[in-house]
Amino acid sequence: VALGRIQLTGDGTRRRVVLDVTVDGVEGAALGVMSQGELHSLALSLFVPRATLPESPFRFIVIDDPVQSMDPARVDGLARVLEGASADRQVLVFTHDDRLPEAVRRLDIPAEIVEVTRRDASVVELRRAIDPVGRYLEDALAVAGTGDLPAAAAARVVPGLCRLAIEAACMEVVRRRRLGRGEPYADVERALTEAGTLTRLGALALFDDPERGPVLPARIEKEAGAAAALAFRLCDDDAVETQALEPVELVRQASKLAGVLRGVR
Amino acid sequence: LSTGARSLLDQAHGLLLRADADTAGLWPRASALLARRSVEASVYRLWELRGLELGACPMRTQLICLRTYLGDAPLAARAGHAWSALRRACHHHPYELAPTVAELEAWFAVASDLIDRVARDVPDP
């Protein structure tokens, strides 16, 4: 199904949009030939670009249940479109369908997934199901726990994934703190980009000051223990002897450290 | 050799294009299976090029490692996703239809990009 011209028509105070489509080259009207899932996709293909115009005063979009009756490839496509939209604005999606979170995981899209459950009298509970930190740690554990994993791969892949998890935890702390006190989004992102190294990023998260990197290891050791401080060093520097911690233990310590970092206000 | 991956993908394409009484109704899952093998062949080829013995590890581990070693993390993520979608398409699931031509072609495109990327691969310094 290919989309043709989009026409704005109407009479008096009524406005409508006419969408012409062709099906395998034969003309038809969109509503008559498209499935429910295709119509949803079509509506989204009009809504998302319109909502993300530079002229829009809103730096966010909210979409309610966009994946109903969509086929799997379309769900993947939607996940990518929303990832694109999230480059410079907040994207909030509500869904009761597990396929979108699934696509987000598989496509490695940095998104946070929150499960909402409703108790009696609409008392709502929120539970963070997965977020970038958890996903990197999950992947790291899957690799570290592989029985016959070659040492060379363990030494490179596991610290790399743990590093990504720790970075994500630091960024979360910095964003929450700085956006919370009203700093502009662009300034916060610039501070994060300019931090550069993991040590400076860690100092930005723990002390709100990237220049205090040199005192970071001592602080991590105090807050999370010596093993977590070692894990931080392993993630920070490829040159450090990675055999110092077993891969699974490295993930465990990185996970502990990420937890401590995220607890920082 | 990565021609292995390419020829598997060509066979998968062939099944899509050919309307044949013998393969009627079977081609979506059969071509998904061939494309999945093609992705796996590309991944094995990369390990071979890098001298890493990862081929015996579970595919999930290999696909996570691919993000580190391929030198193109977004493509590695897409390949991982295509592989799991193809794997799902290879099996019968109640209430789930066989993949459509458009879906299969999208996954084949990823498999093809992966073949090209691996073909250009130079081992780690």
8 Å CB contact between B78 and A107: yes
Give contacts of A135 with chain B, Cβ < 8 Å.
none
Question: What DSSP element (H or E) covers A67?
Answer: none
> Quick check: B68 and A156 CB within 8 A?
yes
Name the nearest CA neighbour of B51 among A153, A247, A158, A157. Answer: A153
Residue B99, chain A, CB below 8 Å: the answer is yes
Q: For position B109, what pLDDT does the model report?
A: 94
Give contacts of B70 with chain A, Cβ < 8 Å.
none
What's the whole-number average pLDDT of chain A?
87
> Quick check: B77 and A107 CB within 8 A?
yes
Give contacts of B99 with chain A, Cβ < 8 Å.
72-73
Q: For position A214, what pLDDT does the model report?
A: 92
| pLDDT tier, A228 (very low <50, low <70, confident <90, very high otherwise) | very high
| Residue A217 reports pLDDT greater than 60 | yes
A62: which strand partners?
A92
Q: How many CB atoms lie within 10 A of CB A259?
A: 14
**A73 Cα to chain B: minimum distance (Å):** 5
Give contacts of B80 with chain A, Cβ < 8 Å.
106, 108
Give contacts of A2 with chain B, Cβ < 8 Å.
none
Return the SS3 of A126.
Answer: strand
> Quick check: B54 and A150 CB within 8 A?
yes
| Whether the predicted model's global pTM rises above the 0.80 cut | no
Q: What is the ipTM for the molecules in this complex?
A: 0.75
Beta strands A90-94; A60-64: pairing state: parallel
Q: For position A251, what pLDDT does the model report?
A: 95
Q: For position B2, what pLDDT does the model report?
A: 43
> Quick check: B106 and A76 CB within 8 A?
yes
In order, the DSSP letters of A16-85 are EEEEEEEETTEEEEHHHH--HHHHHHHHHHHHHHHHT-TT-S-SEEEEE-TTTT--HHHHHHHHHHHHHH
> Quick check: A71 and B100 CB within 8 A?
yes
Q: Across residues A243-259, what is the average pLDDT? A: 90
Rounded Cα gap, residues B84 and A187, in angstroms: 39
Checking A8-11 for CB contacts under 8 A at 24+ apart, the result is none
Ranges in chain B, pLDDT < 50:
1-2, 125
Q: Across residues A223-230, what is the average pLDDT? A: 92
Residue at B121: amino acid letter = D
